[in-house]
Amino acid sequence: MSDRNLFAQQEANKRKSAWLVAGFLLFFAWVGFGGDLGFYLYTKDLPPGRYHHDIPFIGLIACTIAALTSRYAWKNGAKRVLDAAGAQELVTPATPELKQLDNVVEEMAIAAGLPKPKIWIVPDQDPNAFATGHDPLTAHLAVTEGLLKVLNRDELQAVVAHEMSHIRNYDIRLMTLLAALVGSIALMSEVLGRFLRGGGRLGGGGRSRGGGGKKGNPAALIVLVLWIITLILAPIVSKLLTMGVSRKREFLADASGAQLNRNPMALASALEKIAAAPDATKGIAKGAGHMCIVDPAEAGLAEREGFVGNLLASHPPIRLRVARLHGMGYLAAKHAGDQ
C-alpha cells in the first residue's frame, strides 16, 4: 500500500469514527426527544388531573446516557473488549511459544513503523486473534492460546501483520467504537422495550388512556409508531452496519498485512488452519466478533455467500480471502521471475 493510500485510509477511518459518534448521539436524541414528543402530543388534550407529559425527561436521560457512553467507549472501549474476552496481558514471556509471539510482534511493529502494541493472551483453545485500541500509541493485540499451538512461525507472523495493518489503518478505533456503541444501542432498545411492554406508564397516569371517549391525537400516534419501529430496528441495523464495515476492512488488512511480511501464502495457510478448527471461539464476546481475524461464529454461517452471508456473517468467506492471497502470491512470484 502506498503512503498516499495509507494516509487516505487513516483519515477516512478517523472521519468515520467521528461520524459514528455523531450518529450515535443523534440516534439517542431521537429515541429520547422523539418519545417525549409522541407522549406530549398524546397527553396534551387529556382532561385536568390526568398525566401530561410536559417535561422531556426521556430525551434528557437518553442524551446523558449517550454522552457518557460515547466518552466511556472512546476512553475505555479497548479495556472493555479485552475484559469481555478474559484476556491476560503478556508481560514476561515464559515459554518458547510466548517468546516467539513477543519477537514476532516486535518484528511486525518495526516493519509497520509503529510502536509495539501491548500483547494479550485469550484463554481459548480455538485459534483466533484481534486488535483493539484508540490509536497506534494505545493499541492492543490479542491472540488465543489455540492460535499459538496450531500456527508455525511464518503463519503467526502473517496473522500479526494482518492485525498490525488494522492498527496502522486506524481500523481499531472504528471497530472498537462500534463494539461499544452497538452494545449500548441494543441495551437502550431493550430498556425502552420493557418499558413499553410494561404498559408505558409515565408519572402518575397511563399514557394510553384517553378521557371522555376522545380519540388519540393522530400526530401522536404517528410519532409513537415511528418511535417503536426505531426501537425494534435499531439493534438490527447497527449490527448489520458493524458487519458491513468489518467485511470491507478484512480484505484490506489481508492485502496490506501480506505486504508487511511479504508472504501472502503464509496468511492464506494460517486462515485455512484457523477456519479448520472444530469449534467457534468461545472466549471472545459476541459483541467483539467483528474485530477478529476470522469470524468467531460457527463455520457454516461464516462461510455463507450471497445475501444470507452478507446479512449474518461479520467476515467474508475464508475461501474468497485465501483465493485473493493466492493471487497476490502468484503475481509476486511472476514479478520476481521476470526480473
Which residues are catalytic, by number?
A: 163
The one-letter amino acid code at 337 reads: G
Q: Which residues pair with 201 in a beta bridge?
A: 206
Residues 6+ apart with CB under 8 A from 218: none
Helix (H, G, I), strand (E, B) or coil at 159: helix
Ranges of beta strands (E only) in 198-325 are 201-202, 205-206
- DSSP designation for 84: H
Angle at 59 between CA 22 and CA 185, to 5 degrees: 50
> Whose grid coordinates read 480455538?
126
First to last CA, the chain: 21
DSSP 206-225: ESS--STTPPPPHHHHHHHH
The residue count of the chain comes to 339
Considering all CA atoms of the chain, what is the largest pairwise distance in Å, rounded to the nearest integer? 90
Residues 6+ apart with CB under 8 A from 41: 217, 219, 220, 223
Closest CA to 245 of 197, 296, 187, 178: 178
Ranges of beta strands (E only) in 167-258 are 201-202, 205-206
For residue 100, count CB atoms less than 10 angstroms from its CB and return exposed for 0-12, middle for 13-18, buried for 19 or more.
middle
Q: How far is CA 142 from CA 2, 42, 77, 111, 246, in A?
A: 27, 51, 14, 19, 17
